Each structure stands twice: as structure tokens, then as C-alpha cells.
Chain A
Amino acid sequence: MKPEQSTAARSMRAVSLAILLVTSVTFFALVYSAYQDYGSLTSVSHGTSNGKVIISGNNAQFFLNFSLSNNGLLPFRADMSCPSGQPNVTCVPASVDLNPGSNGTLHFVIAVSNYTQVVNATGGLHMNGTVSFALVPFASLSLNLDFGRFVTVKGG
């Protein structure tokens, strides 16, 4: 006679299936949110952002605004900052937290002192900084970039 599966075995199997189900649903939410937020970020890089430059004497201030939207299922965070100790470059760290379905703007300010000398000496503007994106609380991506590549000042 085939022995009946015990209550313990059935319970443990049920818990195992429940854990697998929760894990699968969480991964689906994560992948879907990452896909949706990637679309939002690429639209930022293609133009839904603006900024202005204020040059005062030998100092320049770059005000950058990035419009972001969270179309995913998980909270999304974006941060921008630059390391202290860079010669002639300071910045105000910026951060924005977006709940699912909400929009927001990331305001980032970079100040460059002795602007003209810096550009002439280095042949361009180099401002090291970090951009990070996070799907809270599961994953985060940090990029160390040269912000100078994305900032140009047009004479007028």
C-alpha cells in the first residue's frame, strides 16, 4: 500500500511553493520596473531635461534639471553628487525619490570657480561626479562620470 504523505511533508512543500511564488512575483515586479524606468531614463538622455548657466566674473554655476517619471511597480531613487576635494569644482548633491506612478525633477547645481583658467588649462571642462539609480530596496546602479562631457557653454 502506498504510504500517505505526512502532514509535515505536505506543509513543508506548501511553504516551499509559497516562497517560490513570492520570489517569482518579486522578480517579475523588479524586471518590469527596471524596464519601465529604463525607458524613462533614456527619454531624459534624449531631451526631457533643461538647465541654465550663470557666469559671474570668473565663476560659473550650472543648474541642471532632469524630469523623471516612475512608471514601474517599485519606488525609484535617483541621486547625483560629486566628490569633495576636486580643484575648482563644488556641487550640491541632489536626490529624488519617486513612488510608482509619480513624476519628479532632479535639480543639480555645479559651481566652477576660475572657470576660464580651468577650461583653458585642461582644454575643456572636467567635473567628476556620480549618478546613481536605485529600485528601492532591491538594486542600485552607480556610474562615475565626467559631467563636463554633458555640459557645454555657448558664447553669445
Chain B
Amino acid sequence: MIGESYPLTHRILRAALTLVANLVFWILIPIAIGGLLSKESTPTPLSTPSFIYAFGAVITALQVLAALTQGMAVSVPFNTGSYIAEAYYVWAATNGGSLAISAAGNAVTFDFAPIVYLLMLPLLFNALRFPVTFLLEQSEAARPFSDAL
């Protein structure tokens, strides 16, 4: 939580684990999925490696910075920014929940917008949670203890 002091080694170890997890989840797995989809001529940003690398790098960098600054107020915008970037990434990569595939001369359309909203909901809530919690904690901290008077 904000205000708590975390040892440097703890923060560096957490940042290293965050780096590996984010590289796998936001870059390697989407590259594999994009490779499969591009074979079926699906127009989605996942078929564009530059999209995956760009957003993957932004999300990973923000998450790593948030891990390195854990316990500090500056980690709040890093966390919020990373979750907003993740939510947009999910939306853009899935084309808003509509994919069209041409296979064996037949056209297939897959609509799954509610699933995309379900994926984005925890990310958007977490983007809201960090600044709201920080502001509420700061306001509570500003109030004097009643037994100190």
C-alpha cells in the first residue's frame, strides 16, 4: 500500500518477475495467436507484429516501473496507465469483439463483444482502484487522531 516502505531487493525481484510475466502474456502469446490468425486472412491488429511490440513494450514498461516504485505515490499513475493500456490493447487486438475469417472458400464471422467487455472490466476497475484508494487513504491520513487532541 502507499506509504509502506518496501526493501529495494524486494522491489527489484518483483520488477523482474513482472517483466517476465508481461513479456510472455502481452508479447509472446499474442505473437503466436497473430501468426495463427494471419494464416486465415483475418484482419486484426494481432496480425501486425508492430502493434503487439509497441503496446507490449508500453504495458511492460509501466508495470515494471510500478513494481520498482511499489509503496510510493508515483506508482499510482504507473499502475493506472498500465491497466488503461491493457484494456485498450484487449479492445484493439480483438477488433472490438468481431473477427472475420475466410477458410476453404467460406466466410466465417465470430462476434464476441460481451466477452471482450468482460475481459476489460477487471482491467478498467483496477485502473480506477489505484487512484481512488490513494486519494481516500491520503484524505484519511490528513485527519488527526481523536486521542491526539
Contact = CB atoms under 8 A, between A and B. Distances in A.
Interface in B33-64: none
A139 interface: yes
Contact of A145 (B106, B119, B126): B106
Interface string A115-156: 000000000000000000000011111111110000000000
Contacts of B111: 139-142
A6 B140 contact: yes
A143 B122 CA distance: 32
B149 interface: no
Contacts, number: 70
Given A12-B129, A141-B109, A143-B107, A23 B121 contact: yes
Interface string B1-32: 10110000000000000000000000000000
B109 A19 contact: no
Interface string A21-51: 0010011001000000000000000000000
Interface string B73-116: 00000000000000000000000000000000011111110110
A19 B122 CA distance: 6
A23 B90 CA distance: 15
Contacts of A140: 110-112
A30 B115 contact: yes
Contacts of A15: 125, 129
B148 interface: no
A141 B110 contact: yes
Interface residues of A, number: 26
Contacts of B106: 143-146
B34 to A, nearest CB: 20
A19 B121 contact: yes
Nearest to B130: A12
B122 A16 contact: yes
30 contacts: A2-B4, A3-B4, A5-B1, A6-B1, A8-B132, A8-B137, A9-B1, A9-B133, A12-B129, A12-B132, A13-B129, A15-B129, A23-B119, A27-B115, A27-B118, A138-B115, A139-B112, A139-B114, A139-B115, A140-B112, A141-B109, A141-B110, A141-B111, A142-B108, A142-B110, A143-B106, A143-B107, A143-B108, A144-B106, A144-B108
Given A6-B1, A12-B129, A12-B132, 5 more contacts: A23-B118, A141-B109, A141-B110, A141-B111, A143-B106
In the A-B complex, the 8 residue pairs with the closest CB atoms: A8-B136, A139-B112, A144-B107, A142-B109, A12-B129, A9-B133, A6-B137, A138-B114
Interface of B: 1, 3-4, 106-112, 114-115, 118-119, 121-122, 125-126, 129, 132-133, 136-137, 140
Interface of A: 2-3, 5-6, 8-9, 12-13, 15-16, 19-20, 23, 26-27, 30, 137-146
